[in-house]
Structures are given as structure tokens and as C-alpha cells.
Amino acid sequence: MTRPNRDEHLFSPGPKRILALDGGGIRGVLTVQILKRIESLLRARAGGDDTFRLCDYFDLIGGTSTGAILAAGLATGMSAADLETLYQELGDAIFEPDLLRWGLLRAKFSKAPLEKALKRQFGDIRLGDPTRIRTGLAIMLKRFDTGSPWVVHNNPRGRYFSPRPGGKALANSEFLLWQIVRASTAAPHYFDPEKLVVGRDAGGKDQAGVFVDGGVSPHNNPSLQLLMLAWLRGYALQWPAGADRLLLVSCGTGINETALDPGQKAPAAAEAVIGLASLMDDALALNEQLLQWMSVSPTARVIDREVGDLATDHPGGGLPLLTYLRYNAHLDGDWLRANVRPDYSDADAKALREMDQPKNMPQLIEIGQAVARKVEEGHFPPVFDLR
């Protein structure tokens, strides 16, 4: 089997493949089950080589928050089984309760265990490393001190990848991989923000930006941003469009729509939190709706009763722009009872929505395996097979 290197993934002609991985804290272990199934299916399609990795197949892998951990791991050659082991090892360490931390005056969890784990896994790898990062990689961040979403990627033709003559900004290629992943996982309330050196002033002194979880942006599901990265002229990839030319595979951590019971009385602060969470839910739903509208999608779900699944809709009445696959679970009692086990209660479903509960991992694995069973070989058109 031929293994493309980073630049061959990014710049060689032919159909292109993107893998997008949502944020969701410990619920990332649900995503891992889907990845294990996809990896097994694609390994068989590639001849059954035990050394096959998803970074051999996908030309661009991107993630947000826990999805950034997964994306960085896959792009550096980890298998899906390796990622499951990593999550099993890290869950209790990262989300260890601290009686002095309540998430009000200080972050709920110390960043030290997560930082230690990321340093151990990714070491001194920098984003510009063309050998240890084996395919295209994009990480979603939110710069808190300017309010701007950042997509940090390893396209060597990108505007900010290399040092610019006379420029004071730090090039993307110089970022340590562990640190940008840590920044993408710095969820407010749960972890402290991450300070990254982003440039130097006229006197040569480091200038830092303050970054938080990329999920605090429209890109907790990074699919649409990755599609823009592939297509927009400014990002310097300009991959082709078409159902037989671009494949986007998107894996979630569970849908949990946030709502307030009409009869429920809530403090103003709680209403504000619910409002913010529902805004993030809306961004995820819009992301899916736009992608189903643009694409051929054998996994399309009914968006609502008015627009349906958009199978016969395409922008301007034209041809589909890509093939789109979306795999996710619904963390509500009805879905879990129908798709996983009949004894799941609504209270069970609500508890599973928490992003910081390692005790939920066995159930999340079970749910992920149920979603993985919905991944079919026929979803992946042969035109995208490795040659």
C-alpha cells in the first residue's frame, strides 16, 4: 500500500477526503468507537495491512476540543485503538474532582494532568513537521483576548505557515502541537485558558494571546470550517468540488439539545447558561443543514418537518458539491432505547450529556458502538479508495 506524505495528501491531484471531529469532553470516547469501525472498514478496502492508519486515507483531519486530541493523534499515526487506550488512561486523571475548585472563581479542573498527558503524547512535534504529522491537520481555537475564531493548520502554502520577512507574528509551523491542542481543549469553566506566544514586539519581547476551547465558536463541529479550508482561495488548497471529488466524514460526540421546561423557574444566571448552550446547539444544527444541502449524503437525517432531509435540494438547483457522511448519537431517552438498550431512562440520557464524567465511559462506549454499527461499507464510494 502506498502511503502518501503530508504534501502528497494536500497537493496531489485526484479525489480528496476530509475527516471532521466534534468537541464534547469525555464524550470523545463515543467518537472513538465510530473511528474504530471506519478504520477497520477502510483497512480492509486497502488490502488488510495491519499498519494501515486513518492518516493514510484522509487528506485533511480536523478537530475541536476533544476532537482536536483525536485529530492530532490520528494525524501523527495513532490507531483508533491507541486513542481508546489514551482516553481510558486520561479520563480519571484529567477530570479528577478538587474540593477547592467549583468552576466559579477558578476553573473546575487543574490543567496540569491534561498538559502532562499532551506533552507525553506529542512531545516536541511542531505543526510544521512534515514527517511526524503525516497528513493535513487543522485545529479549531478561539482567541479570547480578541474574540476571533482561529483555524490553525499545517498547509505549507498557507499565509501564516512560514515566517514572513520582517514580520513579528509567530508562524503556524512553529507552534508546538501539544500546546495548540491544549488551547483547543481549554473549555471555560472546566479549564484555565491557554496563553500562546503569537508574536514578538519591536524589542523582541514575546507577545501572548489568550485562547480557549474552539467549541466557544461556530466550529464545535469543524466540518464547515474544514470545507472552507479546502475550497477558499485564501487558504491556498483549492480542492475540487463534486460528489465524486470530495468526501467529508463527520463524527459527533452526541446530540443533546438544550431546552428550558415552560413551567420551570430558573435563576437569571442559569437562563444565561442555557441560552449560550442552545446557541451552540443551533450552530451544530445549522452546520449539518448546510452540509446536507450541499451534498449527496447517504446518512442524511431529517432536519425538521418543513425542510426534510434535503436529499433533493442543492444550492441554486445545481449539482451536489461533495459526498457527506455524518455519524452521531442522540443523547435522549427515546433514541437510546430504540438504538442501544430498551432500559435507558430519560435520567440516564441526561446524565450522559455531561462532558466531565469519566464514570460515563462504559455507557458512552456502548452508545458509540451502536452508532458504529450504522457505518456501512457502501457509504464510502469506491472512487475515494486508495490507489
Tens digit of each residue's pLDDT (9 = 90 or more) over 250-275: 999 999 866 556 666 666 555 655 66
- Which sequence positions are flagged as catalytic? 65, 213
Per-residue pLDDT at 96:
74
- Establish if 173 belongs to a structural domain: no
User: In this structure, what CATH number is given to the domain that contains residue 355?
Assistant: 3.40.1090.10
Structure confidence by residue, pLDDT tens digits, 294-320? 999 999 999 999 999 999 899 988 999
Q: Check residue 268 and give its pLDDT.
A: 59
Regions of the chain with pLDDT less than 70: 1, 97-106, 257-277
| Count of structural domains within the chain | 1
Give the C-alpha distances (Å, rounded to integers) separating 117 from 6, 36, 60, 122, 212. Answer: 25, 22, 24, 9, 18
Record the pTM. Answer: 0.94
Residue 193 resides in a domain: no
> Looking at the domain assignment, is residue 21 inside a domain?
yes
Print the domain residue range for 325.
6-97+105-137+150-156+219-253+267-384
Q: Is residue 198 part of a domain?
A: no
> Looking at the domain assignment, is residue 301 inside a domain?
yes
Buried/exposed code over 293-312 (b: 16+ C-beta within 10 A; e: otherwise): bbbbbebbeebeeeeeebee
User: Is 194 contained in some domain?
Assistant: no
In a domain? residue 336? yes
How far apart are alpha carbons 367 and 32 in whole angstroms? 11
pLDDT at 103: 47
Helix axes 28-45, 80-94, angle to 10 degrees: 170
The confidence score (pLDDT) of residue 53 equals 98
